[in-house]
Structure 1
Amino acid sequence: MRLEKILDKLGSIEKNSFIKIIDSIISKNPKNKKEINEILITSDKGLKSVDSQNIANIFTLISSEFKEHIKSEFQEITSQLDILIDIIIKDGNCIMKQDWFSRLYEAEIKNLNSKIKSLNADFENEKSDLSEIRKRDYQIYKSCLYTAYKNDVESNRDPRITSDELSILLTLSKQLGLSQEEIKLINYSILPIKKKDIQDVIKELKNIGVIFYSNKENTIYVADEMVRILREVREKEVAEKFYRRTLKLLREPIINQIAREHNIDRNHTFSQKIEGIIKEGVPFTNLLLSKIYKSDSTLTQRKKILNELCEKGLNIKNLKGATLDEKIESLIKYFDNVERDEKVGISLDGFDKLLSELNVTLPKLNMQIREQFQFQEEHVLKADFLLDYNIKPRDILDLISKEDLKMFIRENGIKQRGDDILNILEFYKDVENLYLENYENVAYRDLNQLKENGIAIKESELGLKFEELTKVIFKGLGFNVDDKFRNQLNTKKDMMDILLNLGNDEIIIVECKSVKERGYNKFSTVSRQLKSYQNLAIKNNLRIAKILLVSPEFSDDFIADCELDTEMNLSLVPAASLRNIFEAFKDSTYQEFPYVLFRDIVINEERILKALRK
């Protein structure tokens, strides 16, 4: 769930710790202080009075400073931050009830203690699966960590890992090729884990700003933006779902090779071994630099293998970069952009239909998804629910075996030639709803963005499409979009785009203007056009309740000219605001939208959304 949405759900007390930390960072002159001040200048009561959207914008501007704030917390040796962060950044754990978090925490400590015991036994057992080289690597890291920890005790100081010591230990662990899980096991073999009270754990995480806690709902929230920062802190370069997507493309001998190196049981199934590699926290870059190739493969061969993995397996054409490192960096950036993208790839209705039909063909899928993402809820195959956890259609399809995917395709009449997952996504695209989700892009006539989102349309068709979609929205708001009456009124000279018939000879006139340039600024032209529509209506003894002008946005000059106009009852409606109102209306108790809410020069979206939620 995005930070803005979480902030909207919570009260001021529940946001207080997070706001204090942001305030503290701002007071220390962060690198984007100028941009932050531009946001804050409209607020005379400081950060606490800033709306959720702008707090989220400020958080983006101070993300690098916030990351350093979290890193500094790792110097507290007893914090257990590595354990706790690994729990809350796991796919599916960004929203958790307190009791569920408590269970995951207890299970993780129990699991770590068991693995520490097993690792210590392997150290002493000459016949263990651990190679002598791996034992040596573990011992080197353990000895260095022991020295960093004990030198404070010997100097009669509280034990801490300083930032310099932590930097050295991180470098050492990378050079030794240790996974995050291996590092944890060695760390806690020196400093035994003490299980804390869950309320204390939540308080600590809340106080350093990484979680929000709703007392009313007993629920922990971790924002998508926060998860990305915490993942960086833990040196995890991609989300688990993308790591899994990549590993599933590898042959089993390669998976076995990686499992052997990191002490993962090779007798497990293919899927279990993949989950074990992800759980271990094997660095993604290291995996693609060396672990997926034969030991004697040349650099040219490695680049060819990586290119084929991306092009044929991940459907990423022309991966940027000349060197292997640059190609891997490009792949990580690609996954990061996919994760940040709010677009689902298919419409929400299409996603719901896909989940419903998957559930019919694969009745065990609901339980599989619950277990994979550690969900507490019983029925999880719901689009809105999964999207709150940033889980998209492709992420669900990635978890289904090839055999089950092919069975699903056959049973639902989906195209069988080509890539199975892409064929399924295309089948459930649901074009009308996909257009509605791209309403603002149509308004801006943004062909490139529309194409990227799977919509093929000619530029000459965009104006009419914007008008059609606006009609769909007003119908969805409960209005009578009366095309028949409009056609009777229209003349060759005066042709209204949309007429909303309120009954009793009362109407609303809606004009749609899609424009490429930012800041619509042609008031004199559009006002003449709207006044002629007004005169046409009056001539036919109609009362005009409102005139609405819908466009992607309006310039300050346009708004100022509109404010000075005394002849029309005109309101300006930004396209994004109209779509947000439409989405809120669907969840409201109203049968028909109360058009009296359209009373501002530029409609006040926040006030209207608040009214609809009452």
Structure 2
Amino acid sequence: MKLSNILTVVNQVEKSKFVNFLDRVCSEAIAHDKELAKKVRSLDGQIKNASSSEIVQLFQLVLPHFENSVKQHLSMLGAQAKLLVNIISRDGNSIARGSWIESLYSKEWELISKQAQESFAMLNEADFASDTFDEAKRLHIYHSCLSEAHQNDIRANREAKITDDERGILNILAEKLDITAEQQSALEHLVNQIPQTGALDCLNALREIGLVFIRRKDHTIFVADEVVSLLNRIEGKELADKHILRVLRTLSDAELSNILKSHGKRIRGVERPEKIKTILQMKLSVSSMLQNDICGTEANLNDRKERLKELISDLSLDLDKLGSTIDERTELIINSLNSCSDLEFNALSATGFKEMFSSLQVHLPDLTKTLQLEFEIEDNEPLTVDRLRALSITPHDILYVLSNDQVKDIRESMGLGKRGNARQMILESFADATDRLIDNYEALSQRDLAKLKAANIEIAEADIGVKFEETTKAIFEQLGLTVDEDLRKSVNTAKDKADILLSLSEDDVIIGEAKTCKNGDFAKYSTTSRQVKAYVNRCEAAGKRVAQVLIIAPSFSDDFIDSADTDTEINISLLEAKGLKLIYDAFKSRRNPKFTAKLFTKGGLLKADLIAKNI
């Protein structure tokens, strides 16, 4: 979940620790950075009274300083904080109850403890007098250096801790000795044991340095997407696990074996799923894996460059350039995957995402359980598309959790062609389903089942209202508007449920209501106005300014139009469904369309033909 959305679901007290830490970082930074000081002063008011958008702007301005400060504080908090950071920055853990994070901590501690015992046994049994430079000898060298880094403080009568400088040297040593991140954690556990209890106290310490928000009423932990990226950089993690999984799914069995061989792992008799699982657990450098491991030792530089070019195509990455060197191509792949979430959410409309998820659940009844295990999602509530979006899990992420064989089976059962990228074909098929609904948008608004059936759209009458709402969202997304599902979910209650929220900025929104009507004009003004006024109050309570209320229906009665024009409490615009479709068609037909959401804020019955003409 984005920082801006988290700030809307926590109260002033719950966001105070983040704001206070941000204020301290800002005060220290502007004392040494005049350019930054000038930008900060351009923001109005004191930070403690700042709006959510101003807090986000300030965070983005001082991000490098914020990151450095977090790094310093984490080094002082020790191994327990490092373990917790590893957990909260993993896929699916950005929204979870404290008890769930605590259970993950206990599970992770047990795994590290077991690995530490195995490493200890290996070190005890090794023959260090031999000339063989095997795994035991490499672990022994790293363990000795790690112990020295920890003990030299004690000899100098200082608190024992590993400094950033020492950590940097140890990381290079681990890379040269081919010590995996998993082995590093186990050996560090031997030198300085991670506490088995006290995870919740440590979470509170992380809250003090702005890394987590804790909502007290249900003890839910929130970690902003921007903070997850920051923690990954601090930890030296080039890609999230879900993106590394994509790369591994795309590689051949031989290439997976090459990676394992490069790091002395067994490959004989090991099945593909186990190879992928082992590589993920090793937490290897992605750059090194792409540049050195996948092609094997016999491949020359041109072979490696060509394979990365093919990989860009295999991953369906839309890049303006391919890069001329192996380093450039590696960097392009990593940067593209790190920044793909927004593009992937936009590639499939909210309707398309829901239809895809529902369809996959039919093909794979255990899909929910699979996703909960893969992303460590707590099973305290149903797994919905809205929850997946809040956790930043995209349609692509879901398809890459599935094995290549599973995806091919789904493609065949859906009757799609057998040539091409199976995952991409599945995604495009659901994009096509949304396009059919948009093409028949007016019939959908009029609940015209016969016309919909003639267009090969099978839909139950009870579902038409929801489909119209979702298709309206899809049109807005195609128009380049921001349909804010996270914000909508945060402000909705069991009683008051807005259909659509369009974010114009960090603070300004348009409330959208999509109304179907079977016969005649839509005429229920008193009921509709009570609804939208309640939504306006909810948004304003969350710190948002409602620029306009936009009601979309097949057509409106004269009384409805007059009542909307004379309503003094809220600003209402009315738009007929055929008019929105006309605007959409005009937008799609232009090479460089000029469209802004402000065109919806004129008030009264909007002249769609005039808007379409001026796009």
* Structure 2 counterparts to residues 413-562 of structure 1, below 5 A: 413-429=415-431, 430-431=434-435, 432=438, 436-437=473-474, 439=476, 442=479, 476=514, 501=556, 503-504=558-559, 506-507=561-562
Greater Rg over alpha carbons, structure: 1
Question: Is the 1:238–1:284 Cα contact (8 Å) retained in structure 2?
Answer: yes
Q: Which residue in the other structure is 1:163 paired with?
A: 164
Q: Counterpart amino acid of 1:5? A: N
Of 556, 565, 575, which aligns to 2:597? 575
In the aligned structure 1, how far is the partner of 2:154 from the partner of 2:402?
A: 52
Q: 2:361 corresponds to which residue?
A: 359
Question: How far apart are the structure 2 equivalents of 1:198 and 1:80?
Answer: 8
Name the CA shift for 1:164/1:474 in 2 (closer, same or farther; >3 Å). Answer: closer
Change (3 A) 1:201 1:299: same
Please report how far the alpha carbon of residue 276 of structure 1 lies from its aligned counterpart in structure 2 after TM superposition.
2.8
Give 1:574 deviation, angstroms: 6.4
Q: Which residue of 2 aligns with 1:121?
A: 121
- How far 1:152 moved relative to its partner? 0.9
SS of the residue corresponding to residue 96 of structure 1 reads: strand
CA drift at 1:156: 1.1
Q: Measure how far apart 1:313 and its partner are.
A: 4.5
Aligned to 2:328: 326
Deviation at 1:184, TM superposition (A): 1.1
Whether the 8 Å contact between 2:255 and 2:294 is mirrored in structure 1 is yes
Contact 1:500/1:508 (8 A) holds in 2? no
Q: What is the CA–CA distance in structure 1 between the aligned matches of 2:56 and 2:229, rounded to whole Å?
A: 14
Distance 1:297 1:435 in 2: 52
Q: Secondary structure at the match of 2:96?
A: strand
* 1:205-224 Cα distance to aligned partner (Å, 9 max, x none): 11121111111111111111
Report if the CA contact (8 A) 2:14-2:214 is conserved.
yes
Structure 2: distance between partners of 1:39 and 1:330? 32
CA distance in 1, matches of 2:2, 2:599: 18
Does the CA-based 8 Å contact 2:344-2:394 persist in structure 1? no
The aligned residue for residue 154 of structure 1 is 155
- Percent identity reads 25
Q: Distance in 2 between matches of 1:61 and 1:256?
A: 44
Q: What does 1:592-611 align with in structure 2 at a 5 Å threshold?
A: none
> C-alpha deviations, 1:428-459, integer Å up to 9, x for none?
11133578446377379xxxxxxxxxxxxxxx
Structure 2 unpaired stretches of 5+: 439-469, 482-510, 524-551, 576-594, 607-615
Q: TM-score, normalised by structure 1?
A: 0.71
One-letter code aligned to 1:17 = K
SS at match of 1:248: helix
Indicate the residue corresponding to 1:280 in structure 2: 282
Structure-2 separation of matches of 1:434 and 1:320: 36
Q: Does the 8 Å CA contact 2:242/2:397 hold for their aligned counterparts? A: yes
Range with greater deviation from structure 2 (35-44 or 245-254) = 35-44
Structure 1 gap ranges (5+): 445-472, 486-496, 511-533, 535-542, 551-572, 580-594, 599-614
Instruction: Look up the match of 1:248.
Output: 249
Can you list the C-alpha shifts for 1:500-541, whole angstroms capped at 9, x where unaligned? 74543853899xxxxxxxxxxxxxxxxxxxxxxx9xxxxxxx
Instruction: Give the aligned partner of residue 504 of structure 2.
Output: none
- Taking a change above 3 Å as real, the CA distance of residues 86 and 9 of structure 1, as seen in their structure-2 partners, is same
Within 5 A, what are the aligned runs for 1:258-337? 258-260=259-261, 262=263, 266=267, 269-316=271-318, 319-337=321-339
CA distance in 2, matches of 1:320, 1:22: 39
For the residues of structure 1 that align with 2:133 and 2:285, how far apart are their CA atoms? 22
Question: Which position in structure 2 is the counterpart of 1:202?
Answer: 203
How many residues in Structure 1 have an aligned counterpart in Structure 2? 487
Conservation of the 8 A alpha-carbon contact between 1:501 and 1:507: no
Cα distance in 1 between the residues matched to 2:522 and 2:199: 64
Q: Which residue of 2 aligns with 1:239?
A: 240
AA matched with 2:428: E
Is the 1:479–1:501 Cα contact (8 Å) retained in structure 2? no
Distance 1:401 1:168, change over 3 A: closer
Change (3 A) 1:10 1:97: same
> 2: distance between equivalents of 1:37 and 1:549?
43
Q: Normalising by structure 2, report the TM-score.
A: 0.71
Give the alignment's Cα RMSD to 1 decimal: 3.8
Deviations 1:482-515 (A, max 9, x none): 9999xxxxxxxxxxx99974543853899xxxxx
Cα pair 2:212 2:221 within 8 Å, conserved = yes
1:77, 1:42 → 2: CA distance? Answer: 33
In structure 2, how many angstroms separate the alpha carbons of the residues matched to 1:577 and 1:313?
Answer: 38
1:308 is displaced (CA, Å) by: 1.4
User: Does the 8 Å CA contact 1:152/1:160 hold for their aligned counterparts?
Assistant: yes
- Cα deviations by residue, 1:255-298 (Å, 9 ceiling, x for unpaired): 23433555766565422331332232211111112111221211
